[in-house]
Structure 1
Amino acid sequence: MPAQAKHRRPRTSPFARGLAAVGTGGAVLALPFIAATAAEAAPSAQKDSPATYSVVAGDSLSKIAAAHSVSGGWKKLYEDNREAIGGNPALIRPGLELTLGAPSEGAAQAEPAAPQTPATAPAEQGTAPATAENASADTSGTVTQADAKTYTDDLDGWIKESLDIMAAQGIPGSYDGIYRNIMRESSGNPAAINNWDSNAAAGTPSKGLLQVIDPTFQAYHVPGTSTDSFDPVANITAACNYAADRYGSIDNVNGPY
């Protein structure tokens, strides 16, 4: 259990960063212009309707927003496509069609090239790499995209999911650093709560895997994760966000923090 009168008071606002997707990408077919009149009419047609973008492997909302100069950044991109993306902006799927909305003022007129798609995606525990060889093809000859990354519902899976979210957000930390601190703070029990120290006496008991008080959790909560401080992934990610701000990384924490 944590020592008395330890940190867990917010010092700065939470980080706001973009969130990441995994899977396989698609090819872009380039067609020649038929006549000069068609080429001249194209820009006008593009201005009359919102631009769209098809997600490929390695994309994140922040990366797409920056590449296409979306006004309002990744948050506006997520807001405009929330129904298609779902509740977790960290999990955008290859092949998903996004509405880009209006570009920022002064944005370049030329459409940025789509990010190159890696030949293979890293293999997850218990799954094969997402390659053209193991992707399934339907009767029309098109290739079905690999499923989104999944995680086991245990300490190992919670840490790995948090690490992927942290990587997308630019929050430092390692598996060993997170695991070591979880074992000290809660012994791996996501429902752990401290009802005896000074924080508890003040009405803000430490909760969850990394024993975070509510004010700290709320200040360092990472968008796309649960707002429940007992949620394992949300608890780990918020605590690592706080540790990065105060100590540089959760890896630098070796005692009550």
Structure 2
Amino acid sequence: MPAKGKHRRPKSSPLTRNIAVAGTGGAVLVLPVLGATTAAAAPAGTPAKPAAASTTYVVAAGDSLAKIAREHSLSGGWKKLYADNRSTLGDSPKMIHPGLKLTLGENAPAQRADRSERPDTLTAEPAAAPAKKTYTDDLDGWIRESLDVLAQHGIPGTYEGIHRNIMRESSGNPQITNDWDSNAAAGTPSKGLLQVIDPTFAAYHVPGTSTDSFDPVANITAACNYAADRYGSIDNVNGPY
């Protein structure tokens, strides 16, 4: 008779619960019991490849859809890039222009990119054009604007030389006409700030200025151009010329 308390069956271990024991003439074989409870779990499926992230690109001067697609190795080339940005480009891929924002990548949404995109653009925004220089509508402003035009054309002259000759010729009146000297008698009166006759004005007119000889800037620049040809510079003129 077994000792008290030893008659209960020992609790099975999780490691031996599904093991069968078979006797074979004194030898013991330990065989695994095959079943659903011991089947190995099926391998997890291969995770889906994440979609490529999209990137914002700001069109620069000289860009084309083909060039952008080529430089960024875009799948599908320029046609895919156009399709992804159809609502931005409209009905023609030729509508691309500097400053336009395009979305690159497999997830490119077909919608217009707004101006608040993340700062991960591939090119900088085009710089704003410098403000056009302004001048006062008086003698000082006319001389300063004329000096800038003269500088663009390589015509010599200084503020002092121009101002000195204007005060002698017209006292600063851009509408004055000399109707008494020999030029007037010949039918070609001297006109404007620097008293230029029409043939001289036409011959020495500076491109980009008015064709009206009474226009202050046009009158000054034509006279300075003439003086540079005859005397080397308006600065060298100290009397009638």
TM-score (norm 2): 0.50
Which structure is richer in relative contact order (CA contacts within 8 A, separation 6 or more)?
1
Higher strand share: 2
TM-score (norm 1): 0.47
